[in-house]
């Protein structure tokens, strides 16, 4: 059984994601598509629009066969750690291939860029650190560093999906996985586009912005599969809201105002005295948007600050991340169909880490970050919504999903 892995967020699942799954299956001849998906908080430091359970169900209904969780310790991270965690899980699940979306669409360019880096890694990393120290963003520092090594014409590392793909390829090489890499060119919409590219394709950014504005899934109906539309409608009906930073602002503001500067310094990604700026802005700002505008600088990008705020909200310390972000220590199952279950049954004895089908207290500290993220994610909901989400988190097995969209 040929298995192909993809690393995803599906926030939410849209027509571009559907294209990616179909192309991944076609390009690799996959019998089983395995998705490693972020949980309740995203790589860019945002709360997921809807729960990981709803997003995993969307994925299986739209063509994935097995969905597992990318733990918090890797999901809310820069591209390097995000990619490293995702690739390690796909390798543990015995995937033969992995396939990612990119602006480039040319896998040979990624191979050449990774080759250049591996031959000049210490110099490359020095260039990146110096660039960021001088106040430029991480994507620009990557692009500049590749230029200095004479390979800037090989791959554009200022583009977000190219950056992720580059780190997937780099992680696979460093981990010596043996998986073959494939890439699919993004279709029409680019990652950060805030407007719909055409009648059927839009970026997740544009979709979220439209949903936040209208609070009505009907406004994005043409750019998502019917299964996504139905699940988004169901989630809105059940919880009364989509998740976004605005509904977490009171909790974040309380944390920032009540914590001492020393406590904030212990939080992961809080560096270089920014805790003073964060506290000052929290006192002065009336909402999350105005808070972010007060904190953002050329040195501290919107994404970097959002990740920092997520770690503050979840009280994730530097020591915790150091302990748990080296390599995934378990695999949490979220959803599957019959094909995914058959594949899992076939390879389960050879998976080198525990495969968790239900929340397990026996994992102890290993699962603490994900447990805390679930409880924080549920905070703004009504009692009924909160109880339902946490019951799903702690008491129920993975979702078994019916016939997928073909």
* pLDDT over threshold 60, residue 194: no
Residue 190 has pLDDT above 80, yes or no: no
At residue 405, does pLDDT exceed 80? no
Query: Does 298 have pLDDT greater than 80?
Result: no
Residue 9 among known ligand-binding residues: yes
pLDDT, average across residues 337-351: 95
Asked if residue 57 belongs to a known ligand binding site, the reply is: no
Return the pLDDT at 313: 98
Pairing of β 355-356 and β 331-336: parallel
Closest CA to 176 of 73, 102, 84: 84
Identify which has the larger pLDDT, 366 or 101: 101
pLDDT at 153 (0 to 100) = 73
- Quick one: pLDDT at residue 396? 87
Residue 12's pLDDT is 95
Give whichever of 85-99, 174-188, 294-308 has the largest mean pLDDT. Answer: 85-99
Q: Has residue 361 got a pLDDT over 70?
A: no
Beta bridge partners of 398: none
Q: What is the mean pLDDT of residues 330-346?
A: 96
Q: Quick check: 192 pLDDT over 70?
A: no
101 is in an annotated binding site: yes
Residue 379 annotated as binding?
no
pLDDT at 227 over 50: yes
Tell me if 29 is assigned to a ligand binding site. no
Instruction: Give the per-residue pLDDT at 42.
Output: 97
The predicted-structure confidence for 230-272, as pLDDT tens digits, reads as follows 999 999 999 889 999 999 999 999 999 999 999 999 999 999 8
Residues 351 and 331 sit within 8 Å (Cβ to Cβ): yes
Annotated domain spans of the chain: 3-103+185-190+327-400, 249-322
pLDDT at 177 over 60: yes
Least confident of 203-207, 237-241, 365-369: 365-369
Helices (H), 62-176: 72-75, 79-92, 107-119, 121-133, 138-148, 160-174
10 assigned binding-site residue: yes
What pLDDT was estimated at residue 363? 77
Burial of 291: CB neighbours in 10 Å, binned 0-12, 13-18, 19+: buried
Query: Does 120 belong to an annotated binding site?
Result: no
Q: What is the mean pLDDT of residues 66-79?
A: 96
pTM score of the predicted model: 0.93
Determine if residue 345 is labeled as part of a ligand binding site: no
Cα distance between residue 27 and residue 29, in whole Å: 6
Q: Is 20 annotated as a binding residue?
A: yes
Contact 4, 28 (CB under 8 A): yes
The CATH fold of domain 3-103+185-190+327-400: Rossmann fold (3.40.50)
First to last CA, the chain: 19
351 in a labelled binding site: no
pLDDT at res. 133: 79
Residue 406 confidence (pLDDT) = 45
**pLDDT tops 80 at residue 275:** yes
As a dihedral over the C-alpha atoms of residue 132, residue 138, residue 141, residue 145, rounded to 10 degrees, the angle is: 120
Residues 4-62 have pLDDT tens digits of 999 999 999 999 999 999 999 999 999 999 999 999 999 999 999 999 999 999 999 99
Q: Please compute, for residue 167, the number of CA atoms within 13 A of its CA located in the half-sphere on the CB side.
A: 23
Residue 166 marked ligand-binding: no
Over residues 190-205, the mean pLDDT reads: 70
For the chain, what percent of residues have pLDDT higher than 90?
Answer: 74
Tell me the two tokens of residue 92.
């543990």
pLDDT band (50, 70, 90) for residue 139: confident
Question: What's the average model confidence in pLDDT over 84-91?
Answer: 98
């Amino acid at each position: 059984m040929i298995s192909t892995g993809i690393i995803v967020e599906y926030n939410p699942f849209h027509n571009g994601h559907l294209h990616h799954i179909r192309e991944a299956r076609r390009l690799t001849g996959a019998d089983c598509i395995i998705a490693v998906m972020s949980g309740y908080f995203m790589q860019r430091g945002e709360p997921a629009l809807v729960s990981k359970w709803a997003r995993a169900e969307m994925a299986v209904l739209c063509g994935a066969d097995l969905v597992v969780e990318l733990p918090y310790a890797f999901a809310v991270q820069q591209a390097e750690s995000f990619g490293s965690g995702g690739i390690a899980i796909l390798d543990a699940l015995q995937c033969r291939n992995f396939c990612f979306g990119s602006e480039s669409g040319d896998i040979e360019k990624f191979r050449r860029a990774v080759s250049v880096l591996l031959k000049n890694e210490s110099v490359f990393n020095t260039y990146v650190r110096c660039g960021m120290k001088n106040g430029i963003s991480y994507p620009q520092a990557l692009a500049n560093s590749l230029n200095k090594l004479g390979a800037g014409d090989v791959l554009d590392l200022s583009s977000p999906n190219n950056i992720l793909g580059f780190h997937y390829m780099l992680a696979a090489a460093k981990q010596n996985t043996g998986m073959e890499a494939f890439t699919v060119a993004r279709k029409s919409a680019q990652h950060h586009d805030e407007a719909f590219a055409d009648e059927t394709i839009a970026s997740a950014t544009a979709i979220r912005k439209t949903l936040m504005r209208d609070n009505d899934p009907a406004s994005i109906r043409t750019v998502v599969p019917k299964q996504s539309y139905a699940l988004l409608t169901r989630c809105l009906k059940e919880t009364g809201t989509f998740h976004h930073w605005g509904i977490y602002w009171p909790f974040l503001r309380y944390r920032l105002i009540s914590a001492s500067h020393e406590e904030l310094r212990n939080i992961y990604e809080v560096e270089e005295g920014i805790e003073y700026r964060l506290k000052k802005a929290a006192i002065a700002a009336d909402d999350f948007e105005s808070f972010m505008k007060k904190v953002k600088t050329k040195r501290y990008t919107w994404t970097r600050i959002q990740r920092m705020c997520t770690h503050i909200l979840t009280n994730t310390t530097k020591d915790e991340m150091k302990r748990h972000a080296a390599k995934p220590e378990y695999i949490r199952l979220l959803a599957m169909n019959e094909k995914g279950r058959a594949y899992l049954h076939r390879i389960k004895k050879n998976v080198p880490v525990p495969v968790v089908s239900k929340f397990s207290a026996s994992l102890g500290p290993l699962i603490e970050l994900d447990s805390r993220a679930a409880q924080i994610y549920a905070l703004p909901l009504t009692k009924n919504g909160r109880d339902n989400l946490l019951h799903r988190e702690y008491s129920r097995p993975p979702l078994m999903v019916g016939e997928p969209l073909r």
